Structure 1
């Protein structure tokens, strides 16, 4: 059985769990509501778009790898053109920082065939020009992968809420396999790289980042990596001095949804 076939079965098995009840959003546009989430911020990218990222150390932001590629040219974006706006709400941020360098998972291929390989490697770390020492912006801890059925939450910006984040509550891990988490959370454009939180240890800890949204038989799910091993790889690359120079555009392999060669029954979109 092929990897793609297994992935299609994985998603199909997740379908009986209803995603419609998991779409409730809590706006974090007020100071009080957003107080615990100041380390989540908007990543303004090259003046052309944005993603979501989260601080995991005073000078490190976790996000999705595909946020660091130009959709038109397929080239790596200069890290210096990316700015992290911690706790961005209604035109103001708790801290503003330019990015010094960025490391992308070495196995990630931009714009390749949507598969478990791409989703589980869709993660990146950004080193900021200067650490954020603001006492209201506390970096999040990370945790090991959640189990099927665990309650999770996503804090993200999106195309319809670019000026304030929202917390999506009552999401669940629907399935996990081959390093990929399938979740009932309904995400949208701008949510790429958003932190996925587990609450099992009594406090929010990041267990994944949003890589893609998928639609199977009319139901929407989100996909992310199992974070533990990919994050260890990125931290090792940073320690080795990687990330200062951007790489040449990678070889691309576009696929059309419904193409008989790679049909999975799912429509995938990078949010």
Structure 2
């Protein structure tokens, strides 16, 4: 092999290595654990049919949970436009139920919403005000049973589940059914929860669920994904 050929070979290997590293970076999703236990769940069956995919006219994608026939709970930052530094208008929001692989069973428009007092979209997460109560223009069908907010306080070690539309599997509703609350941090305006559920971007607003005698109930909503831990907010009293 000539010196020129050897140089070309080395250059090709270098480009391939850099390309591989960039590809791995592109595929990195914060919050997805090495021991990823997420499973696909059926958005047409309870309790998963109470989980909503929230889309905006500016391309935002989040998750929400139906807590009453016309009320969806989600994260406030899902409704914030970082380009205009302003909250989106209700007309820009679309709530999809039964969403899977580009199709959905029900679409609801939004008439109004309320966000946590003091929420500031320009501040970095986490914020205890990072919640939104969305009011739908029309009630969902009676075949969907909303999920109640529990009266139990979150405690360290509590077994939970987290469900949502993750960016790495955006067309499917995924759930980590075997995870736990770690650190519980009360702060003015709310309580932050570190947890070890596997979830990434797109699950913001997705519910943390616990089992009670009557079935699954909401104990929090996911608000941030990170490599060391994901962060949730104990469910506010918004009904």
TM normalised by structure 2 equals 0.78
Structure 2 runs not aligned, ≥5 long: 1-32
1:206-236 CA distance string (max 9 Å, x none): 1111111233xxxx31111122xx334xx5x
1:177 has 2:185 as partner: yes
Residues 163-202 of structure 1 aligned to structure 2 (within 5 Å): 163-178=171-186, 179-201=191-213
The Cα RMSD (Å) is 1.8
Partners of 1:47 and 1:110 in 2: CA distance: 16
Contact kept, 8 Å, 1:41 with 1:88, in 2: the verdict is yes
1:24/1:97 CA distance change after superposition, 3 Å: same
Contact kept, 8 Å, 2:43 with 2:51, in 1: the verdict is no
Q: Out of 90, 114, 119, which is 1:79 matched to?
A: 90
Instruction: Give the aligned partner of residue 42 of structure 1.
Output: 53
Report SS of the residue matched to 1:182: strand
1:30/1:75 CA distance change after superposition, 3 Å: closer
Instruction: Give the aligned partner of residue 128 of structure 1.
Output: 136
Instruction: Give the aligned partner of residue 6 of structure 1.
Output: none
Instruction: Give the aligned partner of residue 112 of structure 2.
Output: 101
Instruction: Give the aligned partner of residue 225 of structure 1.
Output: 233
Partners of 1:192 and 1:214 in 2: CA distance: 12
Partners of 1:172 and 1:197 in 2: CA distance: 10
Q: Which has the larger radius of gyration?
A: 2
1:69-95 CA distance string (max 9 Å, x none): 002222110111101101211233232
TM normalised by structure 1 equals 0.70
Partners of 2:122 and 2:115 in 1: CA distance: 14
Aligned residues: 202
Bigger proportion of residues as strand: 2
